[in-house]
């Protein structure tokens, strides 16, 4: 896979887990790019760090709220489709220098997430795909909305900021990557 092909896949928002061979090639290429082109990719790294900071600031509220609510729920939201990295999660993880987990490629989207245990997720929150960290079922959202107003408003503001940056991340990666692709021999 070339840099240009990878950038095209990122721009399209392709979910690499649908094609495991491409997913692994993209992960290797991104790892190399973030090492070899660290200075050029610094803006992507800063965006990823800011997203990490916003979502990290939300984590205590989410954990506190979900831990008192989710164990009583009869339906499991932690599904394989929420727990897999897509192309943008790969960019984010490699920008932060995080190790990307291996996935059981035999799981279907609606199978329980392989990282779910009887005590909750075994993956540290910062290592989870953003789709996993920011998925809230309707009953949980309603529960959060009925809770204390100030913490919920702070959470909602951080959520909005994180999502806004997340939506800008692919364009920034493609913009910088296109410049690197045209300047390389």
Tokens of 63: 């954990």
Neighbours of 147 (CB within 10 A): 16
121 close to 128: Cβ distance less than 8 angstroms: yes
pTM of the model: 0.82
- Specify the residue for token string 């009887």: 118
| Least confident among 1-15, 27-41, 154-168 | 1-15
Q: What's the pLDDT score for residue 161?
A: 93
How far apart CA 100 and CA 85 sit, in angstroms, is 8
31 close to 109: Cβ distance less than 8 angstroms: no
Q: What's the pLDDT score for residue 137?
A: 84
**Which residues are 116's β-sheet partners?**
121
Judged against a pLDDT cut of 60, whether residue 76 lies above it is answered with: yes
**Of residues 55, 94, 89, 88, the one with CA closest to residue 171:** 88
With cut-offs at 50, 70 and 90, classify the pLDDT of residue 60: confident
For the chain, count helices (H), then strands (E). Answer: 8, 2
Residue boundaries of the structural domains of the chain: 3-183
Q: What's the pLDDT score for residue 54?
A: 92
> Alpha helices, DSSP H only, in the chain?
3-12, 20-36, 42-69, 80-83, 87-95, 130-133, 138-146, 149-183
The SS3 assignment for 149 reads: helix
């Amino acid at each position: 896979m070339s840099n240009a092909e990878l950038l095209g896949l990122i721009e399209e928002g392709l979910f690499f887990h649908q094609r495991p061979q491409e997913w692994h090639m993209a992960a290797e290429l991104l790892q190399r790019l973030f090492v070899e082109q660290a200075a050029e990719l610094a803006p992507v790294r800063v965006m990823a760090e800011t997203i990490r900071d916003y979502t990290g600031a939300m984590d205590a509220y989410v954990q506190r709220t979900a831990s008192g609510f989710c164990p009583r729920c009869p339906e499991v939201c932690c599904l394989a489709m929420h727990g897999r990295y897509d192309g943008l999660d790969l960019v984010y993880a490699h920008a932060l220098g995080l190790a990307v987990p291996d996935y059981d490629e035999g799981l279907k989207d609606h199978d329980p997430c392989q990282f779910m245990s009887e005590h909750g997720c075994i993956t540290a929150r910062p290592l989870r795909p953003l789709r996993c960290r920011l998925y809230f079922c309707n009953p949980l959202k309603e529960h959060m909305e009925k809770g204390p107003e100030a913490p919920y408003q702070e959470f909602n503001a951080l959520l909005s900021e994180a999502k806004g940056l997340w939506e800008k991340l692919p364009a920034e990666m493609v913009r910088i990557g296109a410049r690197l692709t045209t300047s390389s021999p």
